[in-house]
Amino acid sequence: MNAPERKTAMHTQQMTYAEAACLALREKMRADARIVALGEDLGRGGVFGQYRGLPQEFPDRIIDTPISEANIMGAAVGMALAGLKPVVEMRVIDFALCAMDEIVNQAAKNRYMFGGQGRVPLVARMPIGIWSASAAQHSQSLEAWFAHMPGLVVAVPGTPADNYGLLKSALDSGDPVIYMEHKELWGLTGEVTVGSEVPLGRANVLTQGGDLTIVTWSRGVSLAVQAAASLGKAGIAAEVIDLRTLWPWDRETVFASAVKTRKVLVVHEAVQVAGFGAEVAASVAEHVGCKVARLGAPRIPVGYAQVLEDESRLSAAKIEAAARNILK
């Protein structure tokens, strides 16, 4: 049974990416007694502080678990089918690979295989991206794996405002949401409209321009904006679009920009080969017929040494160079 909802007056506030997600979860847990969170290290506020204060406020609904991702995800699927709304903490996406059967064959398929009689309204938090000096097993961006799987919603917040608003929408979705925060954005500070929600499936146009469209998400967002600012000094007007969710993704907004600029660059930190950028690029080519290009990481494991890690890491300079290349 739901607790009485506490209305949150709309106002703006500066906060970090981690604080924004924590606030969103706190507000939703206060409003809905069915929401629980389970995973490793939650009792100490989460590895990145994204649950700070919640174990004290909700001691029976913030659940510390053993180190067994398959067990954590399996328990969460059962909770969801029994009427709860679990938030599943995988710590980082690399560890979620131990729970793929529970995600792909149980959570994603239940609604379809049982004719809608079962729903799995869970949110699986799986931080993606390069984690400095953490090497190949802790620095992966595997969003394309989950976008490929029918039955899953995939969210990739790139700002504190989106980490607040998208998490609230994910908790209201009613379907399993793969929620991918970035491992190196937790301290990023920005303005958040408290009390707002960001709809799933709606992109955000961050800069306006008629020369080039840059489509990106997650950590690529701030870098693409930096690259656009640099291009602007040279008289090149780039339109930067943050997808915010990869499934569903906002095809209409991307296509409208592509019709205007006739050149689209898709940017992501994930390996370029078979990355989600290929889906965006192919869709634009099929429906708009303009020039498209991709910028992603090489198909190599992320190295531990700084010089090797930098080969996989996005930068504003790399985005600017790729943009200038497509404009030739």
Active-site position among 138, 148, 182, 287: 138
- Provide mean pLDDT across the span 312-321: 97
pLDDT at 10: 84
Domains of the chain: which residue ranges? 13-194, 204-326
As a whole number, mean pLDDT of residues 84-109 equals: 97
The residue count of the chain comes to 328
- Confidence check: pLDDT of 157 > 60: yes
Tell which wins on pLDDT, 1 or 264.
264
Is the pLDDT score of 9 beyond 90?
Answer: no
- Look at residue 7 and tell me whether its pLDDT is greater than 90: no
Write the CB contacts of 94 (distance below 8 Å, at least 6 apart in sequence).
137, 138, 139, 140
On the question of pLDDT at 212 being above 70, the answer is yes
Task: Taking residues 56-76, report their average pLDDT.
Answer: 97
What average pLDDT is seen over the chain?
96
CATH architecture of 13-194: 3-Layer(aba) Sandwich (3.40)
Whether 6 has a pLDDT exceeding 60, the answer reads no
Examine the pLDDT at 220 and tell me if it is beyond 80. Answer: yes
Q: pLDDT at residue 3 above 50?
A: no
Question: Which pLDDT tens digit goes with each residue over 160-178?
Answer: 999 999 999 999 999 999 9
Average pLDDT of the segment spanning 57-84: 97
The answer to whether residue 138 is catalytic is yes
Domains 13-194 and 204-326 share a fold: yes
**CATH 3.40.50.920 holds for 204-326:** yes
pLDDT number for residue 5? 43
User: Which amino acid would we find at residue 70?
Assistant: A
